[in-house]
Homo-oligomer: A and B are copies of this chain.
Amino acid sequence: MTSQQTGSDDLELIEQNDGFTLTWQQRLILRHTAQAPCLWAGAGEADIAMFRGNFSIKDKLNEKIALTNASVTKQRTGWTIHFTRGDAVSATLIIDTDAAGRLQLRLQNEASSHNRIWLRLAAQPEDHIYGCGEQFSCFDLRGKPFPLWTSEQGVGRNKQSYVTWLADCKENAGGDYYWTFFPQPTFVSTQKYYCHVDNSCYMNFDFSAPEFHELAFWEDNATLRFECAQTYVALLEKLTNLLGRQPELPDWVYDGVTLGIQGGTEVCQQKLETMRNGGVKVNGIWAQDWSGIRMTSFGKRVMWNWKWNGELYPQLAERIQQWNREGVQFLSYINPYVASDRDLCAEAAKRGYLTKDAQGKDYHVEFGEFYAGVIDLTNPEAYDWYKGVIKQNLIALGCGGWMADFGEYLPTDTFLHNGVSAEIMHNAWPALWAKCNYEALEETGKLGEVLFFMRAGYTGSQKHSLMMWAGDQNVDWSLDDGLASVVPAALSLAMSGHGLHHSDIGGYTTLFDMKRSKELLLRWCDFSAFTPMMRTHEGNRPGDNWQFDSDAQTIAHFARMTTVFTTLKPYIKQAVAQNAKSGLPVMRPLFLHYENDPRAYTIKYQYLFGRDLLVAPVYEEGRRDWTLYLPQDSWVNLWTGEECGGGEITVNAPLGQPPVFYRAQSEWASLFNALRLI
């Protein structure tokens, strides 16, 4: 056995007879022998079909070749490893550190026909893994593969559920545990390192083997970055140094609930008054149909022509000003598509700003009885033009914000201005869409004043998406797609560097026999009071759902919980500021502050809200008590003032008193105590 040790103190590469090991700050990163190699090269042909954001993705695998031989060459700042399989196949791995001192692994296939890479990172059987963007079904990702591809999140997301089966039969829409609007090739290991991949190709991170993580890349190159830290808090600070952080939220966000309303200016006015008269703190009205509607056989759809529709919303400009004077924002809606039969699309087409099909004609995507063109955000002129649409049609109108919807639907067979394959750009699209919105605010000086929120994301959304929302939950109690699923979604995003998350109060997807019950709406309202934003949604079939104004008790419930939320304003605000400053997320997994508690690593449906509140939302129907786990600390029940230490505890959990504890030694204790009087 020969042994070689080089590089900085942090980085150690030891050569052995038929392989090597790479260690970074005492973490074993790579382990290669001829018998158990760490690298494969190969080729495949992607077979990707999309129907309304639901993807069927298969690889017609042409070959996958283990690169058994590794020849190491010392370089000035690291090593180059030439991997081969006889004289037939080769690939290169460059190991060094980037300008910021991160470990950097750069892989490159050498055969031009090879467009697939599989890399095995060393793992320990006991490692837990978190991140990979927004994961709704899993928090600890160990034990499963996670394909990373932005798409609809699926309806039901569990092949054992009837709703999933119905949705699958209808449009392949049921989804599975890994479907997400916001995937990201970034994970945190409990060895206290993160790994982030720069690419945007289709990837599959498979954490199911005990001794390795197999990362598959549908591209001929990949760049991985790693950093280690002593604590998870420090690790997230490093990760967000790399990826960027969200700025603080506009102050009005903390002043109440944003009411999702449709139907025109007067409907908004009436519902606003009803709620305010009922004592509800309202910070805004969010009207997604501000641009008008289109009738289809599925019902009303928003008109995808992003300008104020004066017929449905008469006097909107004036009314916005009036509402603003009353402390109420008006939020609208936009997405990166333009309806093919309307004037914005015609203008984009005339200017050549739409993505193309194989014949060079404008590509139009079917969205359900109507088509829409795709703004080519890789074309700087198109990007600027669309940014101008946001500035002129939304910001100048006086919108306090909007939902920047979609971003997941870039078809893989469309052609882009930048010449990059749409298969590679697909995942990058949501972040590009975020950046377009972000810059519209930045360039108009409205950052920190106007808010947009998104469901789709990818690397880059940390910096450019001001706020995430959890997308389209079912209006049900299912673990994989109901209220519960929002918690692992927020926590996995937190571990991926995005620290601001909220959800539609009451959920959205109202299909088949699902109808939102009163209890679900109230429990979701309770939960949302302990997230950085409260916002309601009518759902896609408003008439089937219990709504915020469906009865007096519900209005009173919103009055109570918005008062809780607004009372917490200074506390939430400082947590949001901390996120902006150091990337410490607002909703945090328990292990972030209780690193030595093994059970904290397995908890998926509880979270810390800031440093001092522990929240355990009730996500089952008909419950009036709730059992939760408290890490070792001194805790106070937010509603009863009872003190307790760590361990499992069962508490009363009536509606309006979601299980929440605060740390006894919190500097915010008097604020928290005030909540008992509400």
Minimum Cβ distance to chain B for residue A82 (Å): 15
In residues 159-175 of chain A, which contact B (Cβ within 8 Å)?
A: 159-160, 162, 165, 168-169
A86 cross-chain contacts in B, Cβ below 8 A: 85-89
- Alpha-carbon distance between A169 and B62 when the two chains are bound, in angstroms: 34
Which B-chain residue is minimally distant from A162 (CB atoms)?
B165
A66 cross-chain contacts in B, Cβ below 8 A: 62-63
Minimum Cβ distance to chain B for residue A664 (Å): 46
A61 cross-chain contacts in B, Cβ below 8 A: 61, 64
Chain A 532-555 interface 0/1 with B at a Cβ cutoff of 8 Å (1 = within): 000000000000000000000000
In residues 86-118 of chain A, which contact B (Cβ within 8 Å)?
A: 86-89
Answer yes or no: A244 CB below 8 A from chain B CBs.
Answer: no
Minimum Cβ distance to chain B for residue A115 (Å): 14
Which B-chain residue is minimally distant from A165 (CB atoms)?
B165
Among A61, A63, A159, A168, the most chain B Cβ lie within 10 Å of the Cβ of A63
A165 cross-chain contacts in B, Cβ below 8 A: 162, 165
- Alpha-carbon distance between A63 and B86 when the two chains are bound, in angstroms: 15
- Alpha-carbon distance between A159 and B168 when the two chains are bound, in angstroms: 9
- Alpha-carbon distance between A162 and B88 when the two chains are bound, in angstroms: 50
Answer yes or no: A83 CB below 8 A from chain B CBs.
Answer: no
Answer yes or no: A42 CB below 8 A from chain B CBs.
Answer: yes
- Alpha-carbon distance between A515 and B108 when the two chains are bound, in angstroms: 60
Interface residues on A, range: 10 to 19
Answer yes or no: A302 CB below 8 A from chain B CBs.
Answer: no
Answer yes or no: A397 CB below 8 A from chain B CBs.
Answer: no
A187 cross-chain contacts in B, Cβ below 8 A: none
Minimum Cβ distance to chain B for residue A499 (Å): 37
Answer yes or no: A65 CB below 8 A from chain B CBs.
Answer: yes
Which listed residue (B87, B89, B160, B168) contacts A169, Cβ 8 A?
B160
A88 cross-chain contacts in B, Cβ below 8 A: 85-89
- Alpha-carbon distance between A65 and B66 when the two chains are bound, in angstroms: 9
Chain A 38-77 interface 0/1 with B at a Cβ cutoff of 8 Å (1 = within): 0010100000000000000000011111100000000000
Chain A 147-163 interface 0/1 with B at a Cβ cutoff of 8 Å (1 = within): 00000000000011010
Which B-chain residue is minimally distant from A88 (CB atoms)?
B86
- Alpha-carbon distance between A169 and B159 when the two chains are bound, in angstroms: 8
Which B-chain residue is minimally distant from A159 (CB atoms)?
B168
Which B-chain residue is minimally distant from A85 (CB atoms)?
B88
Minimum Cβ distance to chain B for residue A87 (Å): 4
- Alpha-carbon distance between A64 and B40 when the two chains are bound, in angstroms: 10
Minimum Cβ distance to chain B for residue A472 (Å): 22
A42 cross-chain contacts in B, Cβ below 8 A: 64
Which B-chain residue is minimally distant from A208 (CB atoms)?
B60
Minimum Cβ distance to chain B for residue A62 (Å): 6
A63 cross-chain contacts in B, Cβ below 8 A: 40, 63-66
A168 cross-chain contacts in B, Cβ below 8 A: 159
Minimum Cβ distance to chain B for residue A653 (Å): 31
- Alpha-carbon distance between A162 and B86 when the two chains are bound, in angstroms: 52
A162 cross-chain contacts in B, Cβ below 8 A: 165
- Alpha-carbon distance between A61 and B214 when the two chains are bound, in angstroms: 12
Chain A 240-284 interface 0/1 with B at a Cβ cutoff of 8 Å (1 = within): 000000000000000000000000000000000000000000000
Minimum Cβ distance to chain B for residue A95 (Å): 24
- Alpha-carbon distance between A61 and B40 when the two chains are bound, in angstroms: 11
Minimum Cβ distance to chain B for residue A33 (Å): 13
Minimum Cβ distance to chain B for residue A39 (Å): 11
Minimum Cβ distance to chain B for residue A365 (Å): 25
A40 cross-chain contacts in B, Cβ below 8 A: 63
Minimum Cβ distance to chain B for residue A159 (Å): 7
In residues 168-191 of chain A, which contact B (Cβ within 8 Å)?
A: 168-169
- Alpha-carbon distance between A414 and B40 when the two chains are bound, in angstroms: 32
Which B-chain residue is minimally distant from A68 (CB atoms)?
B88
In residues 18-44 of chain A, which contact B (Cβ within 8 Å)?
A: 40, 42
- Alpha-carbon distance between A89 and B89 when the two chains are bound, in angstroms: 11
Among A85, A87, A160, the most chain B Cβ lie within 10 Å of the Cβ of A85
Q: List 24 A-B contacts (CB under 8 A).
A: A40-B63, A42-B64, A61-B61, A61-B64, A62-B64, A62-B66, A63-B63, A63-B64, A63-B65, A64-B65, A65-B65, A85-B86, A85-B88, A85-B89, A86-B86, A86-B87, A86-B88, A86-B89, A87-B87, A87-B88, A159-B168, A160-B169, A162-B165, A165-B165
Given A61-B61, A86-B88, A87-B88, 7 more A-B residue pairs with CB atoms under 8 Å apart are A62-B66, A64-B65, A85-B88, A86-B86, A86-B87, A87-B87, A160-B169
List the 4 closest pairs (A to B, CB-CB), nearest first. Answer: A86-B88, A86-B87, A165-B165, A86-B86
